[in-house]
Amino acid sequence: MANWTRRGFMGSLPGAVAATSLAAQQQRGSLTAPAKGPGHGPIKITDLRCAIIGRNPVVRIVTDQGISGYGQAESTKAYLKPMVLFYKDYILGEDATNVERAMLKIRRLGAFKPWGSAVSAIEIALWDIAGQAAGVPVYKLLGGKLRDRVRIYNGGVRFPMTGQTPQDYAENTQKMKEAKEGFTLIKQAVGFHNPAMMRAMTNGWYDEPRTGPPHSDRGLMTERGLEQVIACVEAMKKVLGKDIGLALDCGPGWTVKDAITFARALEPLHIAWLEDLITGDYTPYPNADLFREVTQSTSLPIHTGEEIYLRDNFKDLIEKQAINIIGPDPEDVGGIAELKWIAEYADIHGIQVAPHGIFDGLIGLAAHVQMAAALPQNYIAFEYPVGQPDWWYDIVEGLPNPIAKQGFIDVWDRPGLGVTFNVQAAKAHLSDEDRHFFD
């Protein structure tokens, strides 16, 4: 059995410091100052803050040398603010550039989605500081980049559905195909991951729809229900042809037998992957044995992992060859270095990686780009997040324009995550409770 030990990715920081002057940074709205360099002692954490900006919890780690680092949690998780602040006393006084040392104090206190998000956002903010202190992009601290541009799939780019027929799905997929980002891989929701699809059916499965949060339905499909889902997939694939890949977000909620029947029916369509069929979104266990039964029964790639926290909980999925593709989210799994470790371990087991990220926001987008640049060759694409609301694009500086070209994002080389806030613009969107976030 492979050695499953925890290790950090960061060695000693280079002696060079960021060349950008304090005046230049202040002019563009950044709160960071040039580091004094490792020879001048540690860069101590003096504060941990969290503000809800728009819909996203945003983490700011403040240091005694004028450098601040930022992380972000998903736009669906405004309730996380108290959880972020819970960790404050654990990391105050730590050297922010000793990322692994700080993470050892808090990593054990997280859990499966959504409770790993606070830990993950803090980890990303620490890497932002470490990169700024060294004067290098974060990918350099993760081992350097393997690729100059990173592939994305549609994620947060969505168009409203007009109905639930195969023709409706064909028309929606055509809009996705024509999107300005030029996606080479498109993921669409079907089955139990798409309550509207399932509830539009007559007797689609042997249970009644559940009320409350989404994705709570599960059960045995009827013949009519299974045929309807397959027909919608066939209509979408016909639109995309052979040049654009189609991935399907399917569950959780399928029975093993239905999952196998569904996968085998779609094998002639060469679907990129089937995601979260058995367990997944907000499920606190991965059920490796059931996934393995599905995986061994079809030639289509089987994918899961967005809800999983830490490498330890990917162990069975990877070592049992239970899936073909893992999809951890850097804002849930424990951060970007944690995800890189998991991707490397998956790689030596012949498993691919396609990180989740639909709600990760623009700070999260920057973290994805830095991480994806350094992932091993089993990397496929990450799920492209967008700014919500749209004014996020007015308060974050450093992103390319356009961000995506022909389905890829060029990797930038600015220190840290390479993005910063236009503070004056961002302050206008702070609540009264968070008014001191940038002070």
DSSP secondary structure letter of residue 192: G
The whole-number pLDDT of residue 20 equals: 35
Cα–Cα distances (Å) from 429 to 68, 138, 366, 398, 418, in that order, read 19, 28, 21, 19, 22
Residue 84 contacts residue 125 (beta carbons within 8 Å): no
What single string gives the DSSP state of each residue in 163-191? -SSHHHHHHHHHHHHT-TT--SEEEEE-G
Partners of 325 in the β-ladder: 303, 352
Task: Mention the CATH class of domain 149-417.
Answer: alpha beta
| Residues 270 and 241 sit within 8 Å (Cβ to Cβ) | no
DSSP for residue 406: T
Q: Is 171 exposed, middle or buried (0-12, 13-18, 19+ CB in 10 A)?
A: middle
pLDDT value for 40 = 61
- Predicted pLDDT at 5: 35
Range list of β-strands (E), 54-102: 56-63, 68-72
Contact of 69 with 49, CB cutoff 8 Å: no
Best CA proximity match to 228, nearest among 273, 164, 302: 164
Contact by Cβ (8 Å): 173, 233 = no
Interatomic CA distance for residues 37 and 324, integer angstroms = 43
Residue 213 is predicted with a pLDDT of 76
Start-end of CATH 3.30.390.10 domains in the chain: 22-135+425-432
How far is the CA of 70 from the CAs of 128, 154, 201, 344, in angstroms?
A: 7, 24, 44, 25
Calpha distance 319→414 (Å, rounded): 37
Nearest alpha carbon to residue 154 among 184, 196, 195, 197? 184
* Mean pLDDT in order along the chain per 10 residues (439 residues): 37 35 37 46 96 97 98 96 98 98 98 97 98 98 98 97 97 98 98 95 93 85 98 98 97 97 98 97 94 98 98 98 98 98 98 98 98 98 97 98 98 98 98 97
pTM, rounded to two decimals: 0.91
Q: How far is 395 from 406, CA to CA, in rounded Å? A: 25
Q: DSSP assignment of 297-360, as one string?
A: T-SS-EEE-TT--SGGGGHHHHHTT--SEE---TTTTT-HHHHHHHHHHHHTTT-EE----TT-
Question: Which of 186, 355, 206, 218 minimizes the C-alpha distance to 283?
Answer: 218
Residue ranges, CATH 3.20.20.120, the chain = 149-417
Instruction: Output the DSSP codes for 268-306.
Output: GGT-S-EESSSS-TT-S---HHHHHHHHTT-SS-EEE-T
Domain 22-135+425-432: CATH architecture, name and number where available: 2-Layer Sandwich (3.30)
Predicted confidence at residue 6, as pLDDT, reads 33
- Identify the pLDDT of residue 21: 34
